[in-house]
Structure 1
């Protein structure tokens, strides 16, 4: 067709008929099987929801990040965006999206990885205008798919192809692109969709020659390297000096020009379009992977639309870290799970990035874990935009900076308004009435400092609107946890102390500036806040005090020996008490570890029987339930209700307590039997008991995968947040220990026998008293 002046608005393309032979594998046949799925969902704006889905599968952890966009919302739009700093400049997805005013988005098209500048491979159309397109993709085979939406909001995916011929009455040359600036080996079309002048590309490339075209005529030809303005109602043809000399010398000022651009898609009716990788779904069926789709499990980004065209789905799957990534087939299944009917890959690997500003966020943030440790600079992103003007506040919300603290450590409760489109509207603290219910404390604007321990709620009122948040905890300090001892070379040097407290539920809190510090020998140095400054060479220690507990930091200045310090103090676990069975309506449980001996030593038969009989009598006495947490070979029948270790998953409910046995013998639950995740969470959710006891053969801290350790602990955290008391009891080794972390009590019960066949003097029994949510435990030698 002939080019229309005044900017390349739309093309009336010549369609290239392409028939794809699609082979369809059975869906899910080669994908990972999900056994547990942790989901969180947050509103972004009206019609847009962000969801994180963290799945434990038989292959490992897969973290999915999903944006679902309701396309029937008239004020929402999405489009491809690039750097606002300089055309062709690569920047992070967060910066590109933030600078363009997007509320959410993902990385988009493929691009050249080398250098600070590049161009996306596929076409870009925004608001009915063609921003850029290239002639190099999909001519030999269909590799890079593109998404388009027409003026009637009909979405579709196709393999876009384009040719562009620039000619006078003597000869023609083929253009490499429209507004895509790469290596400048071949000439390109350049208009105001790219830039107002050529200054930026002249800095990048030496000796560029430009044909200025207006009204189908070459009105000016520059000298090599000369910067010119791009005509408002025209365009430039930009080429290297060598190309002008060797291949385009027949063009002269005054030539009448024809620009013929042929496309496989009729762009005349298109409103938006952007490029990506190969197709992922075709009418609900997995598309065959094209040659540019990376094999195996990789970090991936995808985009799709529902069958009715009313919903857009953006997805990023993390990979190359704790999350194992996804295969092409898995990505197709996940997109289909979230409602996509047609979909394509976007650029993946280190480029995979999802940026979102939820209603709780004050600015866009990266929600996924990028695989290279920091954001890769990319060429373009697909942004989601809320075009509605900010309206009147219709509701308020309250967002705490933390959900747990300790006395005299400040939390911030930010209150903000939302209009009908969920646009966030900041509200001055002076206009909000805030109240803490359940603990005493002081307010300073939005900041609250509790003066005591307890669980509390906070309510907010503003202009007749209300909001509240509950379950905030001000914990009891168990112990102080200072940074490392201080060693300085000479007087005048300073070192800051980083201080944490650990509360009695095992949560850590930074309290560096609210801890009291005293230098035992002030002549060696002094404290200013949490900073120690040496006054002379010598040795001393710093006493750290908070909430009735103390800890000590050794200090040496110069070449001096360290001094000894007093013993640090700590508060006992309030749940660890003497347990004696009484007729008080409570439920009593006894638990022991491994009783059977599996070593090679020879044990006297009478000793073996006597010791096991003593253990049996102890675990069977003064309780309703006996639990054998490890392998047992005692043959005599139990006298009370008994749960015995079998090496597989077991579960029962007793006295308002959920008792589960889980094996991680092969280094983790997933490696041993991942289906236990499904069984455990299903059973715990179904019972709704106040107390949970999980018995294992390996403590989670010893899993071979630290990612699985964190994942398992996050599952337990869900029940802690519900107010449940959670114990994880491992039964292995020769030692007894207890540890509290993030609200979960981890206890190890040792084996009855040492490896040499002698009786383990550390062998202990765990005794529980449970009466609703009143739980106590004791560890007693047997």
Structure 2
């Protein structure tokens, strides 16, 4: 937490900044309790609180804040369903038993925004647990046992939905009740149950709900055009695509017996309908994890544990839809909010009903900026990338009249600063683009030649601004197309002080065009403010026979040409930086499994395996299980890898298949931290093959390999078999003489001789640590009060409380801290907010 405490009651004003490692980071007046529902941004300090127009009646609010339970980053998408240009529908990755990134599904469908959807059969079929209705059509039912659902009707009313289905298969002169349609049924199919799959299911195994059932209790029949095509009298149930004009019935027990009586050519029909009349009016629906707001009130007993979260809510009688995500730094469980906080935020926004959707690594919000034609991920998924989710909720806008109604000026690709603002250094360039939208705020093409550009205090040609060498402050750039006008404020920073690159070294494995790498060049002024540097301002010196370098979207695209090395020197504004580049690798065998392998390696599998010394290496025999692998018997037995390899490979014979991305190599990095990387697939066979592992660019070298695993998360695909491990290879980059490291530069904020600078613009700082205000022992505040009194006598301009301001981070501790500081004559002003005029010292008064 950082709070500025500003004193105007004494002759010497004192500015106090509070920074704490405790989790309580809100002022007591903003702290909340369960019986006091907070505003959407409750307590804490909002570092970001912005609103963005996405479409007609569609707004995205972004809030990044620090509250008493830690950091969270929230996005609230509000959708006016009463707007005739706005619609919603289910987003899917394709077949029911599949998954994919939400952004891909949204852009394929043409959505302007969306969030991830239902919980799903992760690690297996990937099918959603609940039912799915897309564009008014039932795609699947919930798993047997039922699920709660939510959706939006064809006339734009968000509501809770009953997706109960009456489904029947008729054959052999009788109706047979069907328990589920295109459902994974991971919890199992009950005895004598009958289920059905259509072409919408995909090619995944239909045996997911029958894995614990004997094969003699299972049978299935393929029906096409109302006639039996084939009967499979025993399990397991099959896999593979189903014809569009067909379906497959899978039976257990008595249902399997009935299926076995069928013959090719026998008539079989399948029919179903939604049981609830209201459900028949639904445009889209999906399952959810429970209602968290009902009648505008937070439901009791909600989970308070911290994790990324996703929710869907509605208000105004269902005419306003709210889609929201909360996440935070780190992986699942290391950032976000509790479901209770999720519900309080929505209730404070006036949401009448809200449900919890899938969270954790699935939490994803995508949205399309005005004028753009692609939606992008707006939050930071905790897996580090988008998870392959089965479905989501999409928001759509119908195409407008195509006439330019509004002009927009934006930074060109790669030209925006890290904080989203537009900045430039004196004497350098900044590229801008003009975009437009029509009456529905959908993109309209703006031809560059039609735009008239102008700027006050600088020159601008074809959208590219050049700041004068002596200019600082703000430049307003104007664009006009016909009668439409827009402008963009551009901040001119102080002079360029140093140049930084997005990569410190490039090692490219092979000289192929597809291995091209992009590097961003960023400048920083003496105050620490940054801005990207336009490639046209750069002077480049390198071996043109080794790489080709071209500007692409504000960055440098480096394409390898031949196996060699070069030093790229980048110069701009009297500053320079160097980037070592190597192309090509040398393959080295770092370990042969020809030593005492039985002593060096231990089993690291789901269950017991059998190790043996094979003439070709280490042999592992195993039963069907999820994970099969090895781990080093001790730290001394780990395999040391020389240099800084790009890739590692395990040469192996495998009698089973392992999916791509589920071979795994464990290692310890140069910092002693345990890590791992997933690799390429293995195919069942008697030949040697490689599992290849590409190390992250952030790897701290040297590394030591500690283990290997082959993994298959699909129970139906787990087989008994054997591995024979032969050797581990490393692809080590071509060597190059690295440039000398530049001498350290002094920080102007640090005095190396203890002498403080003096002058009108200098500041003096004092620090105070471990004040630890605790309401249980208020007498301890005397220590802090005495310390602040002593500090005042030195007349500092700024006092930083830099750790453990409170003992436990409880609201009552913060209340005590506020009381002590204000009693001492201090005003508390949150960092990032403008203090009141009467609390700001007038420098003229001294």
TM-score, normalised by the number of residues in structure 2 = 0.57
Aligned mates of 1:122, 1:407 — CA distance in 2: 57
Aligned mates of 1:199, 1:541 — CA distance in 2: 50
Q: What's the CA shift for 1:409?
A: 4.2
5+ residue gaps, structure 1: 1-23, 139-143, 582-587, 599-627, 645-658, 694-768, 776-782
Aligned ranges 1:191-210 → 2 under 5 Å: 194=200, 209-210=221-222
Quote the residue 1:502 is aligned against. 524
Partner SS for 1:340: coil
Cα deviation, 1:435-490, whole Å, max 9, x if unaligned, reads 232234x63x33334452424221101112111112431541224557999999xx
Q: What's the CA shift for 1:527?
A: 12
Quote the residue 1:415 is aligned against. 434
Aligned-CA RMSD value: 5.5
Q: What's the CA shift for 1:103?
A: 0.9
* 1:171–1:563 distance in 2 versus 1, CA, 3 Å: closer
Quote the residue 2:324 is aligned against. 315
Q: What's the CA shift for 1:366?
A: 0.8
Alignment of 1:281 with 2:284, yes or no, is no
Q: What's the CA shift for 1:563?
A: 9.8
**Greater length-normalized contact order (CA 8 Å, ≥ 6 residues apart):** 2
Partner SS for 2:64: strand
Aligned ranges 1:11-50 → 2 under 5 Å: 26=35, 28=37, 34-37=43-46, 38-50=48-60
Quote the residue 1:355 is aligned against. 366
Q: What's the CA shift for 1:104?
A: 0.6
Q: What's the CA shift for 1:570?
A: 9.6
Moved more, 323-332 or 53-62: 323-332
Question: Contact (CA 8 Å) 1:109, 1:346: kept in 2 or not?
Answer: yes
Aligned ranges 1:118-157 → 2 under 5 Å: 118-134=126-142, 136-138=144-146, 144-150=147-153, 153-157=156-160
Q: 2:102 aligns with which of 89, 93, 96?
A: 93
Question: Contact (CA 8 Å) 2:767, 2:802: kept in 1 or not?
Answer: no
Q: What's the CA shift for 1:50?
A: 0.9
Q: 1:665 aligns with which of 792, 795, 803?
A: 803
Quote the residue 2:223 is aligned against. 211
Cα deviation, 1:618-650, whole Å, max 9, x if unaligned, reads xxxxxxxxxx99745499xx8xxx967xxxxxx
Quote the residue 2:383 is aligned against. 372
Question: Contact (CA 8 Å) 1:209, 1:241: kept in 2 or not?
Answer: no
Aligned mates of 2:549, 2:153 — CA distance in 1: 66
Q: 1:180 aligns with which of 167, 177, 183?
A: 183
Partner SS for 1:335: helix
Quote the residue 1:345 is aligned against. 356
Aligned mates of 1:201, 1:545 — CA distance in 2: 58
Question: Contact (CA 8 Å) 2:89, 2:393: kept in 1 or not?
Answer: yes
Cα deviation, 1:639-685, whole Å, max 9, x if unaligned, reads xxx967xxxxxxxxxxxxxx775523317999697689994238952
Q: What's the CA shift for 1:69?
A: 0.2
Question: Contact (CA 8 Å) 2:39, 2:348: kept in 1 or not?
Answer: no
Question: Contact (CA 8 Å) 2:767, 2:801: kept in 1 or not?
Answer: no
Aligned mates of 1:212, 1:484 — CA distance in 2: 57
Q: 1:446 aligns with which of 418, 441, 463?
A: 463
Q: What's the CA shift for 1:282?
A: 1.3
Aligned mates of 1:506, 1:358 — CA distance in 2: 29
Q: What's the CA shift for 1:509?
A: 4.6
Aligned mates of 2:502, 2:340 — CA distance in 1: 48
* 1:564–1:469 distance in 2 versus 1, CA, 3 Å: closer
Q: What's the CA shift for 1:48?
A: 0.6
* 1:81–1:544 distance in 2 versus 1, CA, 3 Å: closer
Count of residues in Structure 1 that have an aligned counterpart in Structure 2:
584
Alignment of 1:106 with 2:110, yes or no, is no
Partner SS for 1:91: coil
* 1:429–1:452 distance in 2 versus 1, CA, 3 Å: farther
Alignment of 1:436 with 2:455, yes or no, is yes
Q: What's the CA shift for 1:301?
A: 0.7
Aligned mates of 2:277, 2:66 — CA distance in 1: 42
Aligned mates of 1:526, 1:155 — CA distance in 2: 56
Aligned mates of 2:400, 2:40 — CA distance in 1: 44
5+ residue gaps, structure 2: 1-32, 211-217, 233-237, 417-421, 551-555, 583-733, 750-754, 772-784, 819-826
Cα deviation, 1:226-254, whole Å, max 9, x if unaligned, reads 977444xxx63433799975342345655
Aligned mates of 1:321, 1:369 — CA distance in 2: 9
* 1:474–1:425 distance in 2 versus 1, CA, 3 Å: farther
Partner SS for 1:420: coil
* 1:295–1:483 distance in 2 versus 1, CA, 3 Å: closer
Quote the residue 1:681 is aligned against. 830
Question: Contact (CA 8 Å) 2:567, 2:581: kept in 1 or not?
Answer: yes
Question: Contact (CA 8 Å) 2:90, 2:391: kept in 1 or not?
Answer: yes
Question: Contact (CA 8 Å) 1:76, 1:387: kept in 2 or not?
Answer: yes
Question: Contact (CA 8 Å) 2:425, 2:467: kept in 1 or not?
Answer: yes
Aligned mates of 1:664, 1:223 — CA distance in 2: 73
Aligned mates of 1:526, 1:371 — CA distance in 2: 35
Q: 2:89 aligns with which of 71, 79, 96?
A: 79
Q: What's the CA shift for 1:62?
A: 1.8
Q: What's the CA shift for 1:41?
A: 0.9
Question: Contact (CA 8 Å) 2:93, 2:101: kept in 1 or not?
Answer: no
Aligned mates of 1:89, 1:496 — CA distance in 2: 32
Quote the residue 1:164 is aligned against. 167
Aligned mates of 1:589, 1:569 — CA distance in 2: 20
Aligned mates of 2:504, 2:153 — CA distance in 1: 67
Q: What's the CA shift for 1:102?
A: 1.0
Quote the residue 2:586 is aligned against. none
Question: Contact (CA 8 Å) 2:765, 2:798: kept in 1 or not?
Answer: no
Question: Contact (CA 8 Å) 2:251, 2:259: kept in 1 or not?
Answer: no
Q: 1:300 aligns with which of 309, 312, 335?
A: 309
Aligned mates of 1:532, 1:161 — CA distance in 2: 56
* 1:561–1:382 distance in 2 versus 1, CA, 3 Å: closer
Quote the residue 1:386 is aligned against. 397
Aligned mates of 1:153, 1:479 — CA distance in 2: 54
Q: What's the CA shift for 1:135?
A: 5.2
Q: What's the CA shift for 1:593?
A: 3.8
TM-score, normalised by the number of residues in structure 1 = 0.61
Q: What's the CA shift for 1:562?
A: 9.3
Aligned mates of 2:291, 2:307 — CA distance in 1: 16
Partner SS for 2:381: coil
Question: Contact (CA 8 Å) 1:108, 1:381: kept in 2 or not?
Answer: yes
Alignment of 1:473 with 2:484, yes or no, is no
Quote the residue 2:475 is aligned against. 456
Question: Contact (CA 8 Å) 1:102, 1:385: kept in 2 or not?
Answer: yes
Quote the residue 2:649 is aligned against. none
Moved more, 304-313 or 501-510: 501-510
Q: Which has the larger Rg?
A: 1
Question: Contact (CA 8 Å) 2:430, 2:534: kept in 1 or not?
Answer: no
Quote the residue 1:601 is aligned against. none
Partner SS for 1:378: coil
* 1:684–1:450 distance in 2 versus 1, CA, 3 Å: closer
Aligned mates of 2:122, 2:547 — CA distance in 1: 54
Question: Contact (CA 8 Å) 1:404, 1:475: kept in 2 or not?
Answer: no
Aligned ranges 1:303-702 → 2 under 5 Å: 303-319=312-328, 321=330, 324-359=335-370, 361-400=372-411, 401-402=415-416, 403-407=422-426, 409-440=428-459, 443=461, 445-450=462-467, 452-454=469-471, 455-480=474-499, 501-509=523-531, 514-516=537-539, 546-549=572-575, 591=764, 593=766, 631=788, 633=790, 661=799, 663-666=801-804, 679-681=828-830, 684-687=833-836
Question: Contact (CA 8 Å) 1:93, 1:107: kept in 2 or not?
Answer: yes
Question: Contact (CA 8 Å) 1:173, 1:248: kept in 2 or not?
Answer: no
Partner SS for 2:829: helix
